[in-house]
Structure 1
Amino acid sequence: MIILYLIVVIVMVGMVVGLYQKNTNIICKSKKRLDGKTTIVTGGTSGMGLRIATDFADRGARVIVACPFVDEGTRGRKFIVDKTGNEEVIFKLLDLASTASIRKFSEDVIKTEKRLDILINNAGVGNVEDFATKDGLNFTMQVNYFGQYLLTLLLLPLLRKTGNSLEPSRIVNTASILHNIGSVNFEKINCPNYWYPIQLYANSKLCLILFTRELAKRLKDLKEFNVKVNSVDPGAVGTTIFNTTGKYYGGFITFLFSVLFKTPWEGAQTAIHVALDKKASLVSGELFKNCKLSRAKETAYDDDLACSLWEESRKLIGLCVDEYEQCFQVLK
């Protein structure tokens, strides 16, 4: 009887939370068109990334969707084209767990694209097996942070070439509310089987916010106002990221989060807002949540920590000094 009572209470609380959440979710209201613009959405073939890419394509953009799976990429591209009628949707292979793949992808984009207006670093992994990649980096940390660090810097010259002071190029990094329990420990940053999966995920998202702030600072120091970079907290979203916990359990969590909190489409709204909204382009290095300027945990505003993380990341990802300096050159 007590168990039944507890179940009823939990269900009722869940319904109240879900009702409040659904009534307070904010939708991007921008009517901005993206005709003639080029965008990249990592993880743009499923979950929130697919909804972001579909929105951009519907606005007339040339959309490059990137993921490491051919079947998923092909299906994702077809879905976007069928949904929007926009044939300017390109699928490119990108494995963020491989620096070689990141370099190949970036070189191809620089070679074939004349411009890059929006980069959405959306791809990520959750509760996965803890192992080291071929680059010697923790898999979760590389996909969620180190890989996005390298990708962003390699594409920065094209972003700087495209943007201008009136309409800057935009970089949007997908963080998480779990960054609040994240920490940065340089001695253990790649240590296998040291962190719990949820802690590892949280660490990667805190690192991404610190990277966002440090990149904004370095661009400002260069008197560069043609590129704006911000991070977003999409909230609790029911996506396939939970599938790593098991087919049935993951499916149940995905359904539960979609009902009580946000669907992938609802979760995509803040990233779309930050990529399009005029007021959002006036700030850089900030965190947005529910389509509004928000505040990260206090550690995220530690400039010394952000600088140290930046330098450590550059070394771990294998960016030599000459290549690093080229990342801050504007393409001609």
Structure 2
Amino acid sequence: MYEIFLIIAILVILFLVIGIHQKNTNGICLSRRRLEGKTVLVTGGTAGMGLEIAKDLADRGARVIIACPFNEEGVSARKQIVEETENQNVEFKLLDLASLESVRKFAANILANEERLDILINNAGVGVPVDALTTDGMHFIMQVNYYGTFLMTLLLLPLLKKTGSTNDPSRIILTSSVLHQMGQMDFDNFNRTNYWYRLQIYGNSKLCLILFGKELAQRLKGVNVVVNCVDPGAVGTRIFDSGNRIAGFFLKMFINTLFKTTWQGAQTALHVALDKKAGEVSGEFFKNCAISEPAPRARCDKTAKVLWEESMRLVNLSNDELVQIFR
């Protein structure tokens, strides 16, 4: 019995030490930049980290567009942002990243109705809710976390290019995860069901985002648009509810206590969106508001190019469309 209590005491102390270290090393966005006259788009900006990001940007005076697939959640989030920031220039738009049709309709709406797009924050994502294919034939987790973001980002490039300038380039932020380190580049099996553990699929999707950012940065050289990836760290969001709600509840409490709250998790994305020096680099990976190194497999140029071509095929993006996008 004594040994059991001793082990428990050691674990508690260990967790407290880890928590204190994490809380003391979490990066904070220090930029005081104002955003009057700027337009920002935050996918998944209706809950969790995305909502914190959207509130911060609205508080800086930006026109903020938040997007998610749930109308009630979007309307409620917009109301909350307006009430807390007193910025009326906030708009909610429906976007379902699990549907290529929805992504194209959303992008067309933005291109037709917005005069500029200064910052695109691809924050939306899912955890491990289902092991199933979408109507587009892609794995649900992969399509929401990666393929939908891939297509939407490219479709919005003309407006980002039009908005960016030499002194103030437009910025694209892709939200990855520390779990990209467990990701595997298995193109033949990315979209199979009953093949992967769902957590592995999540890791695959987050690895793909980093490789996409790397390849896109190469293709945007000489263009006034920069793209960077962020790892927000372990953040207690509702993404943990997607597996088991009871386990998710306790995981969120544990992570919020020892690692990051949603506000703390939002800081690196805000830093990359706002910091002057962060706007001078492209194709980088940020963690705790500083440039970091992703896993070695996330730095392979050849893999990034193969992923790009395979992604274009799966989202039905033709070469002619791509030429128009980059023209």
- TM-score range (shorter-chain normalised) is over 0.9
Partner of 2:74: 73
* Distance (Å, rounded) in 2 between the aligned partners of 1:9 and 1:58: 44
Partner Cα distance (1:239, 1:165) in 2: 36
- Pairs within 5 Å for 1:50-61: 50-61=51-62
- Higher mean alpha-carbon deviation, 194-203 vs 167-176, is at 194-203
In the TM superposition, residue 123 of structure 1 has moved relative to its aligned partner by 0.5
Query: What corresponds to 1:103 in structure 2?
Result: 104
Please report how far the alpha carbon of residue 41 of structure 1 lies from its aligned counterpart in structure 2 after TM superposition: 0.3
User: In structure 1, what is the equivalent of residue 306 of structure 2?
Assistant: 308
- What per-residue deviation string (whole Å, max 9, x for no partner) do you get for residues 139-197 of structure 1? 00000100000000000000000001100000000000111111111111111111111
Query: Cα RMSD over matched residues?
Result: 0.9
SS at the partner of 1:39?
Answer: strand
Deviation at 1:78, TM superposition (A): 1.0
Q: Give the deviation of 1:129 after TM superposition.
A: 1.1
Equivalent position to 2:326, from 321, 325, 328: 328
Partner of 1:164: 165
2:286 alignment partner AA: F
The residue number in structure 2 matching 1:120 is 121
Q: Find the residue that maps to 2:187 and give its secondary structure.
A: coil
Corresponding residue for residue 272 of structure 1 = 270
Name the residue aligned to 1:16: 17
Partner of 2:284: 286
Structure 1 SS opposite 2:36: coil
Deviation at 1:9?
2.2
Shift of 1:3: 3.6
Residue of structure 2 in register with 1:27 after alignment? 28
Tell me the TM-score normalized by structure 1. 0.97
1:231 aligns with one of 229, 232, 257: 229
Matched with 1:203 is 204
Distance 1:151 1:3 in 2: 53
Question: Secondary structure at the residue paired with 1:192?
Answer: coil
Alignment partners' CA distance in 2, 1:247 and 1:305: 36
Which amino acid in 1 is paired with 2:106?
Answer: F
Could you report, residue by residue, the CA deviation over 1:44-71 in whole angstroms, capped at 9, with x for unpaired residues?
0001000000000000000000000011
SS in 1 for 2:189: coil
Rounded to whole Å, the distance in 2 between the matches of 1:194 and 1:7 is 37
SS at match of 2:188: coil
Find the aligned partners of 2:146 and 2:168 in 1 and give their Cα distance.
27
1:191 aligns with 2:192: yes
Question: How far does the alpha carbon of each residue in 1:16-57 deviate from its partner, in whole angstroms, 9 at most, with x for none?
Answer: 111111111121000000000000000000010000000000
Question: Structure 1 residue 6: deviation in Å?
Answer: 2.8
Rounded to whole Å, the distance in 1 between the matches of 2:300 and 2:319 is: 25
Point out where structure 2 has 5 or more consecutive residues left out of the alignment: none
After TM superposition, the structure 1 stretch with the greater mean CA deviation from structure 2, 62-71 or 242-251, is: 242-251
Amino acid at match of 1:272: L
Give the match for residue 256 of structure 1.
254
Distance of 2:163 and 2:271 partners within structure 1: 20
Bigger mean CA offset, 168-177 vs 75-84: 75-84
Percent identity, aligned pairs only? 58
Aligned counterparts of 1:15 and 1:190: Cα–Cα separation in 2: 40
Question: Does residue 317 of structure 2 align to residue 319 of structure 1?
Answer: yes
Q: Which portions of structure 1, spanning 4 or more consecutive aligned residues, are displaced by more than 3 angstroms?
A: 2-5
Residue by residue over 1:229-281, the C-alpha shift from the partner in whole angstroms, topping out at 9 and shown as x without a partner, is 00001111111100112222111111110110000000000000000001001
SS at match of 1:187: helix
What amino acid maps onto 2:166 in structure 1? S
Q: CA deviation at 1:4?
A: 3.5
Describe how 1:148-159 pairs up with structure 2 within 5 A: 148-159=149-160
**Structure 1: distance between partners of 2:245 and 2:139:** 24
